[in-house]
Structure 1
């Protein structure tokens, strides 16, 4: 056994919290049922040791790990000490690790890339060497180039362990690391953890519900819990001596871990057995409180505790800088997106080609558009599809691509690696350039139907407007995904909001003069109003539409010289619009005396406000992800 420098102690820890699963609505209206989950728990574990926390479902195993990691929200009492110093949240984040039961890794990354892009203070050659060492220790070297979505359960669990080991923790907590693994892989995972504990000098605490006998040699310590009470904690070999001394020897050929687990479990098969087992466990708990102190603190092996002057050594070593973490996150996002694996190709295609493909389909439908009277309505319909396409493709892409990164963020934020602002900043730095290139390509496809490439600035403004709409809808959906876990519900909600805005504010499906006053003034608060007005002005003041267009190939409307579309319709139902300006007047002018280019169709106003909406939503999300949400909301994304 190597010399050890760290010891973790829990002294008389109590914890009260939620004792049953309830819905979010019940939480909001005070329907939380709480109770004491951990009762006077004391334990000790040294560096280089593996401790198994055993107990049936509901015994408090996971709650114990959450208390140690400072993730619980309910009231706690007692002391949690690392080398005789309080284990604060900042100390845990810097010196400890927690492998949760479920961890969602970013698809498209290989095993080696997942480890390399874990934020740590290491960089460059040192980090690459550390990654190779951890992969070798966890028997992952042979799958270093395999994507995470193609790993077996055992390989995935070992990779989750590697993500924490890459940070050199002095204490490592694991919640059910062998759950749903076959016996061979269970043995492999436990043996690897035991070797890692001794090699790195890490104190490992793991929970198990059904321990096998073949893992017994790898466990230096064990803690039995029953409904939050400690039945036994101490060395696994001393456990046999203790239970034998109090009259509960383990029968020969029995798995001692499982035998004493059954002894620590309430028997619910009948009322009589329930009362008898309950009484027996209460007796065991009281007996251990009186006689078990020597077993709890006993040091296993040749531990040499050198805590330095005063019995303390520095615990806080500092965290990587925000710049270093941000660059790691950005590199990870780009690597996952530009990967030549299936997931990477899917992400790249969605980001770059979904909008151009939609606009190409529109081009196929509208490419034979003739310059007759019906082109006014046709062009307005095309603008509706163009505007809706930018909004809805932004929503769909966000719903497909963002949740996986959001979930990983919520899980890593619990480890204190980074916050929401840094996460969104790096994500937008990756996403926004893709959306601009995609919008530019899409605009090049559809713009010839609405304008002319002779004026390159018109094309540039056209691209900017659609890009702003895309970004706004994407950021709007990201804001909804902040509190709505189900991506389908978030998509429906975001699409519903967008449909209302486009319907009422675009002036296409309903003219502005047809709106009631309160609805008209409400449109000032929507981006679709300004984006649609800009696109209509750009389209219908095209030189092609300056003169009266014929009704068809045989009927001419060249004698039209009025701007009042209603008067024209009354005199000649075939020739409704003398020019594009008349069409704009019909759709946007609420008062016939209005000047057409003032107010709602102002060029600079519409361009500036449309871009301001997109920028405002970007900034709003940065602040939204700073706001501390209720624990039960955040917990939904971390399960």
Structure 2
């Protein structure tokens, strides 16, 4: 192969022609734009001006926190509520005439005819996060995006989709599901390219892209930008992007470059002028250095030492001053008169929207596709009413209607019909909206392609048959006949219609809740509290006629009152009569007690229908008004005094960082400095076997599919140097790290099958042995605690991982690490999450690295440590790693997409992987260059060697010709390496000749390097401090812990106070005791708000062997129990003292005790379920079924349960607490009147005192005995939760 043929693989390509319609040309003119954070009055972008003509590709570059994303958002008019801006931003329609420019290439139109220019101007915006539906394939995602954004023919849309798939290199994965964390699908790079495609399909005139190349390998990134450049040149489109590390050939594709640093403009002009400009002020780009890397380094502030920070800040100030002078004297911006006279386009008008019913049609088709491809949810949809209906029917099975207890049970079963299925569906639908549907809606709403009303209507149409009709029919068909209700078709369909409308109302309420907050914990809280208030007004717990006047109106807005009243009237009107006098009919008397009129069916049913529609209307209005935005960065002032110590003269902080204990005579550290481990991989194979249930009905219930991830990988990684694993997306880089570090986890439907050997200095070790002496930095930073600051995160990590040092030494180590990682400027900023903005993604990556660097391991694995970071920060991190290698002899292995040229040559060994995990090369960079030169692939001058090699082993699927030629090249390279392996020393050692470490010999030799967990007391204290800090800062956690329980008490007091001593008060007291079972749910919700984030962080620390399960579990209880106890005291104040239950010390403390125990049991159930499942919404749905059944079996609803159910009730805490509360509520000295009902024929009262009530209903219990049993039940719940957690992490390990 000649030099000409292989010189520049990336540019020797056959270009595709994309069949986009021609668009109006838009230019952008910005004058003196300044962006300020209004809360802190911090200037984020300072005095930015530019002119960007149509047909331009512009990149905004700069370090993390320089203001790139903020500038992009403001230019695209996506302005956060916490931002204000000054200056002008104008979009001007350029007059190009009706014919295309003569210099433009001729376009291939879809039907061979010349199409007119698209009249409507469209803007597109690509956010940093990829918001895609995991259950659609790549092709389906683009097809639905085209259907929503283009009003074109099916043929046109299909052609555009196929062309985009080829152009973006998605051909190999076109029919692969997008996937998510639970179900693997596309790689991160493939998702990024797909997101770009979903925006490009709208045929925009101007498009903003926030970090479009993040997560892409160098070759894919180049092809994406090349596509943008082609579209800009051919059609006059304008592209503005933020970018971290553009390779040199990407840089020279740009038309205009803007360099920011700390919000200040360092340069903003044409790309052709960039290098001459910097040369004119004395900065010359060195040979063989990427100019983009050089310019970002030049404008970055090095905060790793005071001296460097002062010098680099001074240089930055000089660069800013130079630019202001140049801008004033040389930059020729368009005159204001020209811009004022041109046709200006308002950005609000740059969206395209299909007619309403077309939106509904497309969304409904997509929803059907999503719903029927989600087998777990589909099965749950039908299983839930089946299970709940059967259990509920069993609990209330055909009560004896001739007794008072039986009639009370009948009334309770009608209440359960109204409330139970409806409430569970409320939680289920809220979960489904938060977890799956609403994020996609928010993205499409922001794009202007979907309206809230279309989203709601389409969703309801697609779920109508499966959810509203089928679930209701299953539930009613089972319960109606098991309840022993009258076998009357008319009454059956009354029951069905009421439950149907109730479920419809709950569906609307879930939409309203999610419209208020996208966070599931908050949305479920809104739904729960609303539903609690509405259920209180239904009339079952407290008579609707005798409610306090200030809450009596609630029944009119409570759909539960109308539904329960309809069923009561249908069941009891003129029923159970013994005389011709209808007033004496027992059924009519029951209606009178509950405050419902007779034959009250039609009116409440109509009102119920109106409310079911009304909730959707209110939800739609809130969705229209409430567009989701992200909170501006929060800063937390640390109250901890900083321990500052001067660095020894002439000694840089990063060198101090690597000097493990600062010359202390610590045996562990001294030994650790000299260990050298050469890692050798032999014949590593990895495949995953997918078992897809119900994927192919013809072939059976399960369809097995095997995917090869790694194939015969042989490699050597040497100590004292950085070893790199390189390759395109989907080559198995991350999988290889996960395999050797023992982090591969099989699931029910995906089993990993591995083979091969891992050697330490030519002696074979197991994955467990490897894991014990290595630290692993994953790509994912989501496990960090959002409420902690950077400094606090590292401080607590140091307390646990460096427990052999003093506090002063740990603080000094932490401060130096913060400086070395360039985090000094944000050390007091909170980490943040998707709801509260904290530090940037690059800064989170460095925090994660910092936590692992504290361990001082002999082996360090890092998965994409530079992904999402600017070139200066990437270089800084790799310098730190290089020092670790050089000075401490560590073996460091990283996966990396786009290494800088000068850093690449300093790598020790490089493993180059092609698609499907096949090895293309393993050796040093110099050997790599020589090897590929021998194959005939010479790297051209001024080309990044790493980029060149990645280009060589990448397959271009943009068109058939490119694919054939690139596949042939890759196969040739792979075959050459295989042939080379057959003759080299890298060939695998025969199994019979391999030495293997035994468990004992390994731990004997490497005992000082195996991480030893912190002792229980230390780990417990640190966990308590850390959890206290996160709880104190998290409003949601505090509210969940302190406010929910008393809040419930306040609601009860509003409805029940004052409880009287008449006949009606009997049902009210029973209702109040039953309502106390709601604390079971409150405990679960409190756990959901606090536990999952702490759990995720604990899992990471447990995997690092930092401490065991007991300290975490005990620390969690230490904070949870006192807060629950305090909340329980406040609850008792409202339910006992305010409501007017017997105001005795015994009753007060019994109520405190019972509410505390029930809440704790709810918490324990939450821990159990959150351990089994990691998705919070799924946890809520599972546990809510258990809790709902438990509350129905409290003993106050069904008074005649079977012996089997009574047996189950021995472990039901509310079964005990309800009996304790009701016995204290009806003491023997409680005198009752009967003027409002309940008189015997002789004029005496049916219930003269509290004891009579308990005897009549069969509720007399030994409260002393129950008070003892209930604490045992609570302890059993906690022990079960602890052992389930232990089983997950230590025994079964699922």
Same-fold call, TM > 0.5?
yes
Contact 1:11 1:79 in 2 (8 A): yes
Contact 2:122 2:350 in 1 (8 A): yes
Change over 3 Å in CA distance of 1:398–1:346 after alignment to 2: same
C-alpha distance in structure 2 between counterparts of 1:145 and 1:493, whole Å: 39
C-alpha distance in structure 1 between counterparts of 2:590 and 2:396, whole Å: 19
2:240 corresponds in structure 1 to 205
- 1:118-133 equivalence runs, <5 A: 118=145, 119-120=148-149, 121-133=151-163
**Equivalent of 2:474 in 425, 428, 441:** 441
Contact 1:390 1:467 in 2 (8 A): no
**Equivalent of 1:60 in 63, 67, 70:** 67
C-alpha distance in structure 2 between counterparts of 1:481 and 1:472, whole Å: 14
Q: Return the offset for 1:491.
A: 1.1
Contact 1:47 1:202 in 2 (8 A): yes
Contact 1:95 1:170 in 2 (8 A): yes
C-alpha distance in structure 1 between counterparts of 2:246 and 2:397, whole Å: 69
2:43 corresponds in structure 1 to 36
2:438 corresponds in structure 1 to 406
- 1:371-386 equivalence runs, <5 A: 371-373=401-403, 374-386=405-417
1:614 corresponds in structure 2 to 612
- Size of the alignment, in residue pairs? 573
Q: Return the offset for 1:289.
A: 3.8
Change over 3 Å in CA distance of 1:499–1:483 after alignment to 2: closer
Q: Secondary structure at the match of 1:482?
A: helix
The runs of 5 or more residues in structure 2 that have no matched partner are 1-14, 96-117, 180-184, 334-340, 634-833, 838-1294
2:282 corresponds in structure 1 to 247
Could you say which structure has the greater relative contact order, defined with CA pairs below 8 angstroms and 6 or more residues apart? Answer: 1
Provide TM-score, normalisation by structure 2.
0.41
* Bigger Cα displacement from structure 2, 214-223 vs 478-487: 214-223
- 1:219-618 equivalence runs, <5 A: 219-291=254-326, 319-338=353-372, 340=373, 344-367=374-397, 369-373=399-403, 374-403=405-434, 404-433=436-465, 434-450=467-483, 455-502=488-535, 504-512=536-544, 515-541=547-573, 546=576, 579-588=586-595, 597=598, 602-618=600-616
Q: Return the offset for 1:53.
A: 1.1
Residues 320-374 of structure 1 deviation map (CA, whole Å, 9 limit, x = unaligned): 3333333222222222223x3xxx2234344455334321332243445455524
Provide TM-score, normalisation by structure 1.
0.79
* Correspondence 1:8 to 2:27: yes
Q: Secondary structure at the match of 1:377?
A: helix
Residues 59-115 of structure 1 deviation map (CA, whole Å, 9 limit, x = unaligned): 221122112212226233134344559xxxxx9994221100013223322222211
C-alpha distance in structure 2 between counterparts of 1:525 and 1:323, whole Å: 31
Change over 3 Å in CA distance of 1:613–1:246 after alignment to 2: same
Q: Return the offset for 1:270.
A: 4.0
Contact 2:210 2:242 in 1 (8 A): yes
Change over 3 Å in CA distance of 1:334–1:417 after alignment to 2: same
Q: Return the offset for 1:213.
A: 4.3
C-alpha distance in structure 2 between counterparts of 1:83 and 1:618, whole Å: 40
Change over 3 Å in CA distance of 1:451–1:465 after alignment to 2: farther
* Correspondence 1:161 to 2:171: no
Change over 3 Å in CA distance of 1:413–1:47 after alignment to 2: same
C-alpha distance in structure 2 between counterparts of 1:346 and 1:580, whole Å: 44
Q: RMSD of the TM alignment (CA)?
A: 3.8
C-alpha distance in structure 1 between counterparts of 2:486 and 2:269, whole Å: 79
C-alpha distance in structure 1 between counterparts of 2:485 and 2:439, whole Å: 45
Q: Secondary structure at the match of 2:447?
A: coil
Contact 1:6 1:83 in 2 (8 A): yes
C-alpha distance in structure 1 between counterparts of 2:287 and 2:161, whole Å: 44
- 1:61-100 equivalence runs, <5 A: 61-72=68-79, 74-83=84-93, 94-100=121-127
Instruction: Pick the structure with greater CA Rg.
Output: 2
C-alpha distance in structure 2 between counterparts of 1:5 and 1:295, whole Å: 30
Change over 3 Å in CA distance of 1:507–1:99 after alignment to 2: same
* Bigger Cα displacement from structure 2, 169-178 vs 233-242: 233-242
Q: Return the offset for 1:263.
A: 0.9
C-alpha distance in structure 1 between counterparts of 2:77 and 2:275, whole Å: 32
* Bigger Cα displacement from structure 2, 442-451 vs 463-472: 442-451
Change over 3 Å in CA distance of 1:454–1:386 after alignment to 2: closer
2:130 corresponds in structure 1 to 103
Q: Secondary structure at the match of 2:522?
A: helix
C-alpha distance in structure 2 between counterparts of 1:93 and 1:35, whole Å: 38
Q: Secondary structure at the match of 1:11?
A: strand
Change over 3 Å in CA distance of 1:154–1:46 after alignment to 2: farther
* Correspondence 1:625 to 2:623: yes
Change over 3 Å in CA distance of 1:202–1:367 after alignment to 2: same
C-alpha distance in structure 2 between counterparts of 1:579 and 1:103, whole Å: 63
C-alpha distance in structure 2 between counterparts of 1:228 and 1:77, whole Å: 15
Change over 3 Å in CA distance of 1:417–1:34 after alignment to 2: farther
